[in-house]
A and B are shown apart, each in its own frame.
Chain A
Amino acid sequence: MSFLEIENLQKRFARTTAVEQVQLEVTRGEFVSFLGPSGCGKTTTLRIIAGFESPSSGAIRLDGVDITHRPPHQRNVGMVFQSYALFPNMTVAENVGFGLKVAKKPAADIKQRVEEMLNLIKLPALGNRYPYQLSGGQQQRVALARALAIRPQVLLLDEPLSALDAKIRVSLRLEIRSIQRELGITTIYVTHDQEEALSLSDRIVVMSEGRVEQIGSPFEIYNFPRTSFVASFVGTLNVLRGRVADPARGAIVIDDQEIVASRGLEHARVGDAGTVEDVNFLGSIVRIRVRFKDNAISLDTFNNPRLILPQRGQALTVSFPREAVLALETPSST
């Protein structure tokens, strides 16, 4: 039973297509992330859901109601911006209560709801402060409370953590997720940070150049990328160029060597021998880059005091279990 339906969404600007045929169904209470590099159409899609942009074609349905052409202030959608966008002329309490005041709720109800929201974001004592008196992390929590105060049907977050420093980013990320679970609110989260998307989401929509590359759980997206874009954007998989030699046998050719991906669990090798290009000591892991004729492979190995590290320039053969091979779609084949 889908709560938010995005159907064949398309957005063309004068010369470019920002969003192409985006199709998504979100169930009630689900946390879905749009993940992709800047310019991939994730923010435009979010802005269309919020009503700030109108699609060239396609439809948005919320709880069975078509809201495609509704102005943003009639959508009952909460929005959190990267730049916080708190009203500088209002106190924290006034900011949080703004939506309720606009809706002409009684003053006593507003006061109660504002208190409830400030407790939710764990800033109950800051109601009388002005935004400029708060830290970035506090401002963004207030912005979250403000968006939630109106009891929106959907919560939209547009890169909400990008302006914050790393430590606060992680703690606020956990807080957003726990508040989201507590309220059971359907949430769309836009980010270019794969770690954020993987750790927060029920499902991730990976986008590139306006198109949806893959939709799946973080586990699926990370472990079983379907396209070469997803494989290279999410995680640290090695993407090797090769060609399919015999689909019936599952045989592929990489660097002039045939690998049969479907046979048993024997280990396959890449090429004859590569050259160690770089050895990066990253603390808990060591990342080794090996250069072959047409491909480079990056290997991670856990750090271990007894580990003998290869030297740069040294020859190395690399083998891997056959079931670790994933055939990816390349852009030309989609």
Chain B
Amino acid sequence: MKPRRLGAWLVIVFGVLYFFVPLLGTFEFSLRLLRGVYSVAAYRIVLADPRFAATVTYSTVLALATIVMGVALVVPTAYWIQLRLPRMRPVVEFITLLPLVIPAIVLVFGYLRIYNSSSALPLTGSARTTDLLLMFSYVTLALPYMYRAVDNGLRAIDVRTLTEAAQSLGAGWSTILLRVILPNVRVAVLSGAFLTFAIVIGEFTMASLLDRPALSIISFAITWACMGFIQVFGRGAPGQVAGAH
């Protein structure tokens, strides 16, 4: 028993070092703005900069819009695949995984070619439509996470029978989606939403190349907070979450 326990501790120590040493290094570096002394001057400057508040707000709004759009796109799709087109599942899964395979830089250059100001759909023509384009590109980026999360949630409930029960009680498709399916995959949708939020807040390539003032730093704190929320909300099994009302 003893040697095995020692081995386990060694693995944990190694893991902790692996994750925390680079972070500590980064943190230590951030404190050395002034030569020779540790100070929080760098943070003070960033937080005092009015552009910081503006970018945080911008990124947050964009993240929320991305989440709404992503949920509106993914939940009905995953639901329909599960209910009526189970054979299409591998195809859809493949498509949702593409953003992990194709680098963001390739995606954004593709967008720029297709939606540039001299194209049929000149989305990059104004700041507002570029925001829209950025949001759609974020939806694409978040697709693998959002789809996986929602699909897992749907698999945990008996989609077909719940749908039929609702139908026999007179419910149409929109009622079924909003009142029966969505509330029962709430946890899955929330975890997908937090992941999306983390991705959007940390994303740099798209925002910078579309020249939008998004928060262009990898923000550990926010990403981690999101992960923490997923843990908290993900705890109850989908069927039992309702009890938390």
Contacts and interface: CB of A to CB of B under 8 A. Distances in A.
- A and B associate in one complex: yes
A102 B242 contact: no
Contact of A72 (B157, B158, B167, B184): B167
**Size bin of chain B's contact surface:** 20 to 34
Contact of A88 (B157, B168, B169, B171): B157
Interface string B170-196: 111001000110011010000000000
B162 A85 contact: yes
Contact of B242 (A50, A71, A79, A90): A90
A99 interface: yes
Contacts of A103: 170
B170 A132 contact: no
Nearest to B176: A73
B169 A50 contact: no
Contact of A79 (B168, B175, B183, B184): B168
A98 interface: yes
B243 A102 contact: no
A219 interface: no
**Size bin of chain A's contact surface:** 20 to 34
Interface in A78-129: 78-79, 81, 83, 85-90, 98-99, 102-103
B240 interface: yes
B242 A73 contact: no
Contacts of A90: 242
Nearest to A81: B161
23 contacts: A51-B167, A51-B168, A71-B167, A72-B167, A73-B166, A73-B167, A73-B169, A79-B165, A83-B158, A83-B161, A85-B162, A86-B165, A87-B184, A88-B238, A88-B239, A89-B183, A89-B186, A98-B169, A98-B179, A102-B169, A102-B175, A130-B242, A146-B169
Given A81-B165, A89-B241, A89-B242, 13 more contacts: A50-B168, A51-B168, A52-B164, A71-B167, A73-B166, A73-B167, A81-B161, A83-B161, A85-B164, A102-B166, A132-B240, A132-B242, A147-B169
The 6 closest A-B CB pairs, nearest first, are A99-B169, A79-B168, A89-B183, A85-B165, A72-B167, A85-B161
